[in-house]
Amino acid sequence: MPRFFWSTVESQIGTIYVASTVKGICKIAIPGETKKDFMTWLERHADKGPIVEDQQKHRKFADELNRYFGRKLVKFHVRLDLLGTPFQRRVWKELRKVRYGTTISYRELSRRVGMPRAYQTVGRANGANPLPIVIPCHRIIGSDDKLVGYAAGIKTKEFLLRLEGALLV
């Protein structure tokens, strides 16, 4: 049985790579992360298990993603398989509570996970998020309201926040 299934989805921001296990989606690579980086991540987590391309496996995700980009979906419902440390999963769980159309600071995220002075550590967990957009790490901004720290680049972060109505100017 394959360890991972993967496919591509075309979107308004470019080609997105997506992978899942039998439990759910575990990795999304948005533009800024190369296919090589994506496959390296899968190989590192596959424990020598097979990695199989399957475009049909991610149809529900592709549909939800298209609805998100069309402003018809504010929360994803696809099943997830979070592959990370317990601390990372705690941060990612908190990220999922940041509502569509809103932002919070890294400092606030740190407070919410019970580590108010560890915003750099929390920021690293945020940056390690394997499921961007679905786990909305783009909604985390600097304490001075500046757009900082997004793997796909600040322009993509700005695009997503404008799409959601979190940036009006």
Residue 1's pLDDT is 52
For residues 58 and 91, membership in a common domain is answered with no
SS (H, E, C) 66-80: HHHHCCCCCCCCCCE
Domain membership flag for residue 117: yes
Report, as an integer, the average pLDDT of 131-140: 96
Look at residue 120 and give its three-state secondary structure.
helix
Domain membership flag for residue 78: no
CATH number for the domain that contains residue 131: 1.10.10.10
Report, as an integer, the average pLDDT of 108-126: 92
Domain membership flag for residue 81: no
Report, as an integer, the average pLDDT of 32-52: 89
Judged by average pLDDT, the poorest of 67-71, 100-104, 141-145 is 141-145
pTM > 0.75: yes or no: yes
> Across all residues in the chain, what is the average pLDDT?
92
Distance CA 29, CA 135 (A): 12
Domain membership flag for residue 120: yes
For residues 63 and 113, membership in a common domain is answered with no
* Amino acid making up residue 36: K
Distance CA 49, CA 41 (A): 13
Per the structure, the complete domain to which residue 101 belongs is given by: 86-164
Respond yes or no: is residue 137 known to be catalytic. Answer: yes
Q: Of these residues, 137, 141, 160, 166, which one is catalytic?
A: 137
Of 17, 40, 69, which marks where a domain is finished?
69
